Structures are given as structure tokens and as C-alpha cells.
Structure 1
Amino acid sequence: MSSISSSMSMDMKLNLFFFLVLFASTISSSLAKGSLQQTLLPSEFNDCSNASQARHLLEDESQAQKSVDLAQGYMSNDDLEWAIQEIGQRCSNISRIYSIGKSVNGFPLWVIEISDKPGEEETEPAFKFIGNVHGDEPVGRELLIFLANWLCDNHLKDPLATLIVENVHLHLLPSMNPDGFSLKKRGNANNIDLNRDFPDQFIFFNDDEDSRQPETRAIMNWLRDIRFTASATLHGGALVANYPWDGSDDKRTKYYGCPDDDAFRFMSSIYSHSHYNMSSSKEFLGGITNGAAWYPLYGGMQDWNYIHAGCFELTLEICDNKWPSAAELPILWRYNKMSMLNLVASLVKTGVHGRIYSSGDGRPLPGSITVSGINYTVRAGKTFGDYHRILAPRDKYEVVATMPGYKSKNTTIWLDEGPVTLDFVLDPEVSVKGSVLQNIYKCDCNNESKQEFVHFLWGAHLEVFFVVIVILGFLLLLFHRRAKVKISTSRQSAGAKRTVEV
């Protein structure tokens, strides 16, 4: 009996011990979660973009990142793919999902197109956002999913969302470097910095396109397929809107502006001043910077876009911390939301837009648009002859339209506020000699009959031909004299009535 009691007593003690352990671990866990949540959700005035304080939200992020997985709370590549496909299904009326290629490790580079007519060619401008160029800068890929979902939910409710969906073809590439994200490193799977892998105007290297990284080639082919008007890539590590040129001719750190420096400063300022606090930066005046003045780089994507693809691209550094806690992502979305929307909307709210036609048959012409004083050419589309020229608002610009085989035309526009629609109708450059030759070639007559008739006139019958000409001339002279007499008689009977011929 005593042995049974002691056994029961031992079981009760063991059960009580396990219960206390379980209770203690539960309390510890809840306290840890509360402490972590309190640390990860600071005041909105204490975000990662405050350059005067720490360059991140976490007070001691260096220690936290040693014990916490950086990617915790971020979408994996599979999660990202699912989110993109889900947007395509949920918003199929205003979206299209497609891939521009694959990464080194074979992951598709998925794109979300948002438009009222996705996949159709129109006269509307196209804009692209690219995120995750560097694998260890993942905020952009998350923000682009936020953007796509917001436009999907609000395109019939919010005027700005409606404007974008109905007037712009917006393309979102959330991750250009999915392999780098998986590896948690800057470069791709081949350890190549993709923002140093494009052809450069100052340093000639890697000219063989086939030797470039597959992600780089995918971007280059993408811009051959779609004529983008403007673009922006989302990076991390600073808080500033960066614009060309990224490098300089002598490799020195200095301000080195491109021909459209005013337009790029205007675009950068739209993003900076729409941001929660980018424009109040103490490091960058107005929250914008010329790339070469900040630090020169070569083989960058934004310079290549402007030079080779006619696309005005910005490099946007959207958070001082490259890889902030996932809990900060909704805050970063709120800080960047209006900047992203206003930058896209600026394509149709400013600048000069129009089409080029032929006066002969009215067909669209794939001509060129230049602006006096700016050494840069914007090309019109082949299908509709449409063009979209980004310009900073100012008093006036002289716009010139040209097309080989046609006379150029120019006119002056004022861009004080709002966009300008300007169509050009160009006249063909055809000489008199050329038109005569063209008429002969279009004649349905038989060339051999013509030659036989000429030989008949200038051969043995030349004398007969001369007599016929003399007789016809004599008859015309008699007819002319009789007509003059008749007209004189009628004038005397009609009085002072006058006839004017124009």
C-alpha cells in the first residue's frame, strides 16, 4: 500500500514539474513576442529614412540580425510567384502576367502589367518599376506587390488609380535577381552585380551580349519589345532619388548631367517631394542627386536605358537599411506610396505628347522628335506614330518633328502647367523630276507602242506631220478672231458688269 502511495506521489510530482516547465516557457514566449513587437513597430517619426538618427528601424539591428533570419516575414521566391499569379487571377480585367526570361538558376522573371487594355498596343506611354536588382535589397519586391494590389483594389474608386490604369501601361518586375535574394547576397548566382553588367558609354567592356548575365539580357530584350517612356528601379541603403549620368568622362566624382538634366531633376523631385521625408534629407539637397556627383559607377542600368532605349530611368534608394525587418514593410509602403503613384502619373500629367502623320495619305510615321537646345532624340512608334516627350515645366520649348523623305516641321509650345498634345503632319519631299518619273512609271500604256509612235513622227512622215500642224494653227487663229468679235458685241449689250478670276 505504501509503495502504491509513493508511486502515485512520484507521478503527481512529475506531472506538476512538467506543468510548471510548460507554463514558464509560455510566459517567456509571450514576453519575448511582446518585446519584439514593441521594438519592430516604432513611431512613424522614427523610421529608417531619418538620416540624423540610426540608419534603420531596429535600435540594435546588428545584434538582432545575427540571431534572426533576415528573410523572416519576407516572401520567398515561391511566395512571390504565387502572389503575382494571384494578382493576375483576381484582377484579370486590368492585368497581364508574363515572364521576360529566367535567372541563372532558372527562376522566371515575372512581370505584372496593369492597364485597362493589358497586352494591347496603344498610343499610351509605358512605365516600368524594377525591384530587387541587388539580391540583398528586397524591399522593392515587396512594395511592388503592395502597389499592384492597391491599384487592383482602387482603380474604380481612387482618381489617381483610375488615371494610371486608363492612361498608362504600367509594368512591374518585382524581382530582377531572385537568385541573389535566395542567397542573401548582392550579386546573382554567378556573383555578378547586375547593375554593373550593362553596356557603358565611358568604359567599353563585355561588348558581347551573349556573355552578359541572363537577367541583364532579359532586360535588354524586354526594352526591344516594349517602348518604355520612363522607368525606376528600387534599391536600398540610402534615401535619395538618383538620376543620370551615373559615371563621368574622366572617372572623377563630380556633377555630370545628361542632356535632359532638367527633366530628370524634375522627375526626381516628384518622387522626393511626394515621399514622407525624402526631400528633407540632410545628406542630399532636396532628396535628389546626380549619380556621378554621389559616386561614379559604370555598367549601370539607368544610363543604358536613356542612351539605348529612349527610356528616362531613375534609381530610387527607398530606405537607409538594405534589409529591414519585415514588420516595417507596411510603413515603408505608406512612405513611398504617393511617390510611386505620382511618378507614374507624371507621364500623362506633364510633357508633350502626340502623333506624326503623312500629309499624303494620312498614315502614321515612325519619325523623330527633338527639342531645340537638348541633344536627345525621342522616336515615335511604328504602328501609331505616337511619341511621349518628358520635359520639365517652363515657359516655352521649340519642338521639331523629322522623318526621312519628309520635310521637317517645328513649332513652339508652352509648358507652364499640364501636358501638351501636339500632332505633326509632314509633307513628302518629292522633286518635280521625281514626280514626273513616278507618273511615267504608273502609266498603263505600252512602252513599245510609245516608241513606235515616236519613230513614226520622226521618220519618213515628218513632212506630213508638219503640214497638219500648219493647218491646225490656221484654224485656231480663225476661231480666236471670231470669238473676240462675239465677246466685244456682248460687252456692249451687258453694260458695266465685271468678272474676277481667283
Structure 2
Amino acid sequence: MVMKTNLLSFLILFASTISSSLAKGSLQQTLLPSEEFNDCSNASRTRHLLENESQAQISVDLAQGYMSNDDLEWAIKEFGQRCSNISRIYSIGNSVNGFPLLVIEISDKPGEEETKPAFKYIGNVHGDEPVGRELLISLANWLCDNYLKDPLAKFIVENVHLHLLPSMNPDGFSLRKRGNANNIDLNRDFPDQFFSVNDDEDSRQPETRAIMNWLRDIRFTASATLHGGALVANYPWDGSEDKRTKYYGCPDDDAFRFMASIYSHSHYNMSSSKEFLSGITNGAAWYPLYGGMQDWNYIHAGCFELTLEISDNKWPNATELPILWKYNKMSLLNLVASLVKTGVHGRIYSSADGKPLPGSIAVSGINYTVTAGKTLGDYHRFLAPRDKYEVVATMIGYKSKNTTIWLDDGPVTLDFVLDPEVSIKESVLQNVYDCDCNSKSTQEFVQFLWGAHLEVFFILIVILGFLLFLFRRRAKIKVPTSRQLSGSKKTVEV
């Protein structure tokens, strides 16, 4: 009998040990399992398990303490009223079930077009990963409350246009499932560079189309989406052309690694991960996916986007939200601030009339182009700190210019003044060709030039040429032989 009792006790103890080992990581479990994931296939299987959790595990009780969709809408609108001096609220569209996709813009001049860069955060891409929507409301409230007290808050408000979309998938949240109301994974619904899926825009989900139209309206420099189920900052590419799990870097791999490291090292414990070196990972090396929003942003919108996994548990207990905010707060702030604390920024002008040009900026050795704004000609090029870069500005109809910059000591402001390719002589000829040659007066003038008065016309040309020669020679004499060097400035103009 004693033997049976001991055996029963052992089985109960063994079962409880197995149960606790299978439980999802909580905030007390700050690090992932100690064994290294040297085999990429292991990391891939881990990601599959996280993404295909049984929906039965997501109970209605888990939503207790989280804002409902109605609560979220009220919180956004209330914030807009309370912080109207540095914010505006707008919608980019509606979900399948008609819930508005509301955005909070935070800036000292919200809604105005300026030469400041724009950054966006998107939460709740997957309906069963709701931590992001809570953290973005916390971020907005912290900036509002500390704008006049904290230097970092003031820096962000005055130097960046920050846009926060707390929930991209409100229907999935209310249904407690990963996909939207049509059961579509929104992070697989974007056009893909390797495989022609979702090329028909009309076939995409309304939430996907809303994001794509949003980026057509606003020229974002960088962005990040907030997910759950791991603790890592993920960067492009998210897939590879042969679908293999392997490191597959984009042209700006150095810049993305630096960008991901900013978030990871500002986080409470992300950088000390034992699964991901320094708490960052290339997407394709971790788990290849296709139709993702991250790669689409970089390819089609000129926007450097990260995918941030910010909690080991997809749907942690609401009591852990304050701790998650504490762990992610500085990461969220520093990533936005890095937009203007590094890289090269400036404007492109025409030397002919001084007007801004919507030209392009390229960096030698990096196969990627950033486009300047159509109205102000401003550009923002995110780059990792390095000894030097060669920056090239181009514009159709203008001569390109290039210069070398050093980024080892903060950002560089670099303005380009481009010269038109068309010469004065060509402009005169163009004006003649563009004239209304059907008019009677024009025909008579042409007949006069090419008729009997051709010799007189030739003599006039020679005289005008001689006078022009004398004028130019006199102008050269008046040019001083030396010039005064101005003091050093942050803004460089070439």
C-alpha cells in the first residue's frame, strides 16, 4: 500500500513538472531556454508553433483588463481632445466589420507638411497579439504628459511626425483569432517580391488596402509593427527566393541591423536573449514568410520597417501590461528619436529658380534609392554610423551631384543644388520651336530672316557675338582672385 502511495505521488509530481515546463513564458521568465539554436530549422519550428497555437487556448478571460474596441476608440478620441495642441486624430479606413482604423499623429505641428521625417508604429496586426495596442496608447499618453518636462519627449514632438495605429486588426481582436474577420493573415496579404501573390489590389483585405493607401499619402521614413510570441527585433528580408531558411539581407542590411539593435539594446532584456544573438534577427534566417508588410514597406514605400516581437506570450495577463510598458518604453522612444539622430537629411533645389526638386538620393555601394518630397524637396536617408559614405543626388533634366559625408559623429544635413542639363542656347532654340508657327506674323518674320536679308542677319549675329565676348571678358576681370572662408556649419550645400 505504501508502495502504491509513493508511486501515485511520483506520478502527480511528474505531471505537474511537465505541465509547468509546457507553459508559455511569462515576465518572470525573462530569458528564453538556455540552449543555443544553432540549427535554423529549430528556430523555424519554434516560429511555427507560436503561429499555429490552438485557438482553444485563447479564452474570453484573457481579454479581461484589455481595452475593447469601443474602449480603444474612446481612448484615442479622448487623447485627441486632451492633447490637441500636439496631436490630431484621423482614420485611414475601416476593417471588414466596419470598425475605423484610427491613427494618432503626434507633432508640434500635426497635419502640416514639413521637412521633418515621419515615423509610424502599428499594433495588433494579428488579432491574438494585443499587447501592441495597449503599449501605443501608453506611448501617446507619456509623450503628452511629458512633452514640456522630458527632453526626449520634447525632442520627438518637435523633430518628428509620429503616427500611431494602435490596432490594424480590430476584428481579429474581438474574435480572439490571428486573422481578420475573413480569417486572412494580414501579414501575408501584401504584394511579395519573390512570388506573385496578391498582385490584384482589389482582392486584398480592406485593412491591407488601407495601409497601402496610407503610405501613398504620407512619405514615412521608418516604421515598426508590434507583435507577440517572442522577444526579438526582426529585419528584412523576411523571405528568400528559394524559400529556404537562411540569412537573406536586403541592400540596407547594415542600416537595418543598426536600427534593430537600437530597439534591442534599449529594451530591458531583449539584447540578452540566448536564442537570438543581441536580440535581433534577419527574418528569412528565422522563419521565411511571404506577402509580409515589412518587406513591402521597404520596396514600395521607401520606408525602413522592423517587425518587433515584444512579449514571449502572445496574450499575457493584463496585470503584466505595466511591466511590458516599462520594459519597452525606452526602446519605443529611442527608435523614433534615431530617425533624426543619425543618417543624412536635407533638401534638393534647382539652381535655375531655387525651387525644391523631387529628386532622388542614392548612396554608392547600396542598391536603394530614397525619393525627396514633391513639395519641399526634403529627403531623409537612414544609415548606420560609419566613417564615410558617398551620397548622390539625381533629378531628370538636371545634372547629378555627389559628395562624401562622415557619419561617425551624429547626423549630417546635406542640401543639393542641381544645375539644369539644358543650356542657354538650347533654351532659345526650344522657345523658337515652341512658337506658334501658324501665325501670319511669324511666317512673315521667318521669310524676312531667310530671304534677301540673310546677309544682314549674319552680320548682326557676328556683332552680337563680339559684344558678348567683350562682356564676358569684363565680367571675369571683376571676379576676386580669392574668397573668404565661412565658419563651419552643420548644413552642407553642394
Query: Same fold per TM (> 0.5)?
Result: yes
Say if 1:501 and 1:150 are closer, same or farther in 2 by CA, change over 3 A: closer
Distance 1:173 1:46 in 2: 25
Q: Give the equivalent residue in structure 2 for 1:173.
A: 165
The structure 1 residue matched to 2:72, chosen from 70, 80, 88, is 80
**Map of 1:40-119 to 2, 5 A cutoff?**
47=28, 49-52=30-33, 69-119=61-111
Structure 1 residue 311 displacement after superposition: 0.2
Structure 1 residue 52 displacement after superposition: 3.7
The structure 2 residue matched to 1:448, chosen from 443, 451, 454, is 443
Q: Give the equivalent residue in structure 1 for 2:346.
A: 354
Q: Give the equivalent residue in structure 2 for 1:242.
A: 234
Distance 2:425 2:59 in 1: 83
Q: Give the equivalent residue in structure 1 for 2:287.
A: 295
Aligned length: 415
Give the match's secondary structure for 2:85: coil
Counterpart of 1:420, as a letter, is V
Give the match's secondary structure for 1:457: coil
Q: Report the RMSD for the aligned CA atoms in angstroms.
A: 2.5
Q: Give the equivalent residue in structure 1 for 2:427.
A: 435
Maintained 8 Å contact 1:49/1:319: no
Say if 1:294 and 1:173 are closer, same or farther in 2 by CA, change over 3 A: same
Counterpart of 1:270, as a letter, is I
Counterpart of 1:278, as a letter, is M
Structure 1 residue 65 displacement after superposition: 6.8
Give the match's secondary structure for 1:130: strand
**Map of 1:366-385 to 2, 5 A cutoff?**
366-385=358-377
Structure 1 residue 249 displacement after superposition: 1.2
Counterpart of 1:310, as a letter, is G
Distance 1:165 1:172 in 2: 13
Structure 1 residue 453 displacement after superposition: 2.8
Give the match's secondary structure for 1:450: helix
Distance 1:190 1:293 in 2: 30
Maintained 8 Å contact 2:31/2:272: no
Counterpart of 1:352, as a letter, is V
The structure 2 residue matched to 1:406, chosen from 395, 398, 406, is 398
CA deviation digits over 1:109-153, x for unaligned, max 9? 010000001111111000000000000000000000000000010
Q: TM-score, normalised by structure 2?
A: 0.80
**Map of 1:247-396 to 2, 5 A cutoff?**
247-396=239-388
The structure 2 residue matched to 1:185, chosen from 156, 177, 180, is 177
Say if 1:71 and 1:355 are closer, same or farther in 2 by CA, change over 3 A: same
Q: Give the equivalent residue in structure 2 for 1:158.
A: 150
Structure 1 residue 348 displacement after superposition: 0.5
Distance 1:260 1:67 in 2: 41
Structure 1 residue 458 displacement after superposition: 5.1
Q: Give the equivalent residue in structure 2 for 1:125.
A: 117
Maintained 8 Å contact 1:129/1:171: yes
Say if 1:454 and 1:392 are closer, same or farther in 2 by CA, change over 3 A: closer
Structure 1 segments of 4 or more deviating over 4 A? Answer: 64-68, 441-446
Structure 1 residue 207 displacement after superposition: 1.1
Counterpart of 1:227, as a letter, is R
Q: TM-score, normalised by structure 1?
A: 0.79
Structure 1 residue 441 displacement after superposition: 5.9
Distance 2:446 2:362 in 1: 50
Larger Rg: 1
Counterpart of 1:451, as a letter, is V
1:138 equivalent to 2:130? Answer yes
Distance 1:124 1:241 in 2: 25
Maintained 8 Å contact 2:192/2:198: no
Structure 1 residue 439 displacement after superposition: 5.0
Say if 1:52 and 1:299 are closer, same or farther in 2 by CA, change over 3 A: same
Distance 2:101 2:58 in 1: 30
Distance 1:391 1:449 in 2: 61
1:197 equivalent to 2:189? Answer yes
Residue segments in structure 1 that go unaligned for 5+ positions in a row = 1-44, 56-61, 474-499
Structure 1 residue 452 displacement after superposition: 4.6
1:457 equivalent to 2:474? Answer no
Structure 1 residue 449 displacement after superposition: 4.0
Structure 1 residue 456 displacement after superposition: 5.8
Maintained 8 Å contact 1:49/1:239: no
Stretch deviating more after TM superposition (142-151 or 423-432) = 423-432
Structure 1 residue 417 displacement after superposition: 2.0
**Map of 1:459-498 to 2, 5 A cutoff?**
none
CA deviation digits over 1:354-378, x for unaligned, max 9? 0000000000000000000000000
The percent identity for this pair of structures is 84
